[in-house]
Structure 1
C-alpha cells in the first residue's frame, strides 16, 4: 500500500474498509476525496471460506474464484491477498485511512477511535464478549500496525450507536457490582442502524422520526427501537448471543439451560460456547441450514425433516414478532417497521409471516410490493408503515474513519 501522511483526505485519496469475520473478510475502497462520500464503493469484494477446504475470492465485476491459503496461517494469508489487490487498485493514489468494523468497544469506546498499541490492548480485552468477530478484526489491525504503521487505522464500533439507550435498558438484573465492573447491555449491529437512521428521513421524511423499529435480520439478527432516529432499546445485550433466534446462535435463552448442560450433561465451557454460537438457532432446530431460504424449501417434506423445518421457521418468526411487541411497548406504540440486512432485505416470505402476525397492531402488507422487495411494502391503509431499506455498514465506517483524520 502506498504511504499515507497524517492529514485530511484530498482528491484522489481512498479509504479502505475491512469487515472481518471468523471465516470471511469483506473489503471496500471508497473515493475519500469526493464530498459527499459516495455511497457506492469504487471497488469491493470478499474472501470467504477462510480456514475451510475451498476458500475463494470475489471482487467487483469478477466471479468468485478458488484461492490457496497457507494452511498454518489462512487468515493472515487472506489479509495479504487483499493488501496485494488493494495496491494494484491504488494506481498511484494515496490510501488515507483504513477503517475496521470492530464489534465491541466495551464500556470505554463508543465513538470511532484511531488505533494505537494502547487502544489495541484495550480492544483485545473485549474478545470474550464477541468471540466470533472481535479477534479477527484485531488481527487485521495488528498486522497493519506492525507492517504499515504509517497508515492511520480507525476502529468503528458496532456498540457505538446504542450509547443513547437509558440506564434502565443498560443495566442487567445482577448484583450492582456487576454493573460497576462493566457487565451491561451494549447492543450491536450499530453501524447498520446508524446507516438506516441516516437514510430513513431522506426516504420517508418526518415519519421516520417517530416510533420506529428496525429489524436487522442476517446470519446475526437484532432489533433496534428508535425514537427521533436514536436507539432507545435493542434486543442484543451484553453479548451478540442475546435476543432473536439467529442462523446458528440461540438468541435469548434461559440461563438455567446453560447450567443444566454444564452440570448434568457435563459439557465443558468450551463445548457450551460452541453449541450456543455455532450449533443452535435455525441450523440447530432444523438440522438443515442456517439460511431461512434453504430451510423453507423443506417445509413440505414428509417425516421429521419437514416437521423440524416448519418448527424452526415458526420459532424464528415467533421470536421476531415477540420482540417487536416488547419494543413497541417500550416505545408506546409503533409508527414504522423497517427490514434490513441479508434476510430482511431479500426474504419476502419471512417479512410476510412477521407482518401477518402483527396485523393486530394495524400492519397491512402489500403482497405485490413485498414480493419485489419494494421500498414500502405496507398498504396505504396500514397503521404502521413497513419498509425495506438496504444497509451499508461499509459506507458508515468509511465516513466515520475520515472524520477521525
Structure 2
C-alpha cells in the first residue's frame, strides 16, 4: 500500500461511533482514536491524536440531529483536514453477531450485509447499528475495501456441551445456541498474552472482560472453550444495565402476572437491570463506589459474587486454572471491584497482592499465588485493524 495509506476502524453503536486510525504502511502505527457520542441528539466529536491532548467539539450546530451517515461524514471531513495527502486504504468494522457461518473476518459486499441482517433479533442493541455504520461507510468510501470482524467468531471453537442448551436438538439446529460475545477483546488478549508469556498463553486461562458489558471466557491453548454469555448478550455476569443470568421463569412470570409484552421485558432486561436497576442510581461503577447508598453497595457485592461464581465454573470447564486476566474498563481500573471479586479465593490458588492491585500493576497476584493474575488493557480497535491488515495483505 501507499506510504500515505490509512486504515480506519469503526465500531458503530446505538448512540455512538468509535473509530481509530492507523498508518497502513508502517506496521499499523496508531495515529488517532476517537468517538462521536450523542447520535440523534446533541452529538459530540472527540478525538485524541497520538502524543497530543484530547479535543472535542459539538456537531449539533452545523449538522442538527446526527445519524450514523452524518457521523461517518464528520469523520471523513476530519480525516481530510488532518491527513490531506493520505487516502483510506481499508475500513474495518466490528459486527457483533456472525452466527454460526461467519467464523473469520470477511470482505463486505451486498450479499454479506443482507445475510447479517438475519442476526438483528439476536443482538438488537448492537447489530442494527453495526450495519448502519457499515452502510454509511460504504457510501462514504465506495471504492475502499471494507472488512467485517465478528464478536462471535472467537467462540466457534466451543465443544458441543458449551455450545448448546438443554432443549430439543431441533432448536440447536435452528441456531438457538450459546454464541458468546466480546470475541474481539478476547482474541486481542490471547494474542498479547502470547507475546507476554508464550508458555502461559498455552495453559488454562480465564479472561474477564469487565465493562458496561461484561463476560468471561475460558481459554485453553489460546482458544475459547466456554463463555459466560450465551444466545444473546444478556446471559452470564450482571452488567451496567443488563441483568446477566436469570431464571427463565422470571420472564414467564412477568408476562403472565405483570402483563408485560416482549418489548417491555426487553427494555427491562437490556436497559434498566444490572447495576443500574439494582442500585437505583447508576450503571457507572465509579459512581457506585463513591456512594453511601446501601443499594449501591449491594449492587457491587452482587456483581462481585456472580463474578466469583463464574470464575469457579469456568475453572471447572478447564479442569483447573493457571492464569486469570482482567480487562475492560472495570477490570483494568476498578481495583476495589477486583479485590471484592477475588477475595478469599486462596482455596483455588488465587492470592492477590493488595499493594499491586491498588497500583493497577500488570501482575496483581501475590508471589505465593499458584494462579497468576494479570491486568491487561484490551484494544478491540487494534484487533479490527490487525484483522483487516491480515485479510488484505497489508
Residue 105 of structure 2, aligned match among 106, 112, 129: 112
Q: TM-score, normalised by structure 2?
A: 0.95
Q: Is contact 1:28-1:394 (8 Å) kept?
A: yes
Question: What displacement does 1:10 show?
Answer: 3.9
Deviations for 1:234-292, whole angstroms, at most 9, x for unmatched residues? 10111111110000000111111011111110111111111110000000000111011
Deviations for 1:164-219, whole angstroms, at most 9, x for unmatched residues? 11111111211111111111111111110111001112223312321100000011
Question: What displacement does 1:107 show?
Answer: 1.4
Equivalents in 2 of 1:315, 1:34: separation in Å? 46
Q: Does 1:388 align with 2:381?
A: no
Q: Does 1:48 align with 2:12?
A: no
Aligned to 2:45: 57
Aligned to 1:33: 25
Q: Which one is further off, 363-372 or 380-389?
A: 363-372
Residue 323 of structure 1, aligned match among 301, 310, 317: 310
Residue 5 of structure 2, aligned match among 10, 13, 19: 13
Q: Does 1:337 align with 2:331?
A: no
Q: Is contact 1:15-1:95 (8 Å) kept?
A: yes
Q: Is contact 1:321-1:357 (8 Å) kept?
A: no
Residue 290 of structure 1, aligned match among 259, 283, 288: 283
Aligned to 1:4: none
Equivalents in 2 of 1:29, 1:74: separation in Å? 21
Q: For the structure 1 residues 34 and 166, does the alpha-carbon distance in structure 2 shift closer, same or farther, using more than 3 Å as the test? A: same
Give the paired residue count. 387
Equivalents in 1 of 2:64, 2:357: separation in Å? 44
Aligned to 1:78: 71
Question: What displacement does 1:231 show?
Answer: 0.6
Question: What displacement does 1:64 show?
Answer: 2.8
Q: Is contact 2:204-2:318 (8 Å) kept?
A: yes
Deviations for 1:358-382, whole angstroms, at most 9, x for unmatched residues? 2321211111111111010011111
Q: Which one is further off, 360-369 or 344-353?
A: 360-369
Equivalents in 1 of 2:18, 2:11: separation in Å? 5
Equivalents in 2 of 1:90, 1:213: separation in Å? 41
Q: Does 1:274 align with 2:262?
A: no
Q: Is contact 2:72-2:140 (8 Å) kept?
A: no
Equivalents in 2 of 1:73, 1:296: separation in Å? 34
How do residues 146-185 of structure 1 correspond to structure 2 at under 5 angstroms?
146-185=139-178
Aligned to 1:404: 391
Partner SS for 1:200: helix
Aligned to 1:223: 216
Equivalents in 1 of 2:154, 2:80: separation in Å? 32
Q: For the structure 1 residues 146 and 49, does the alpha-carbon distance in structure 2 shift closer, same or farther, using more than 3 Å as the test? A: closer
In structure 2, list runs of 5 or more residues that go unmatched. none
Deviations for 1:29-63, whole angstroms, at most 9, x for unmatched residues? 1111123x33xx211111112234x4321111333
Partner SS for 1:240: coil
Q: Does 1:311 align with 2:298?
A: yes
Equivalents in 2 of 1:386, 1:335: separation in Å? 9
Q: Does 1:358 align with 2:351?
A: no
Question: What displacement does 1:145 show?
Answer: 2.6
Residue 226 of structure 2, aligned match among 220, 229, 233: 233
Instruction: Output the aligned Cα RMSD.
Output: 1.5
Equivalents in 1 of 2:2, 2:72: separation in Å? 26
Aligned to 2:333: 346
Equivalents in 2 of 1:134, 1:211: separation in Å? 32
Q: Does 1:369 align with 2:356?
A: yes
Q: Does 1:206 align with 2:199?
A: yes
Q: Is contact 1:189-1:216 (8 Å) kept?
A: yes
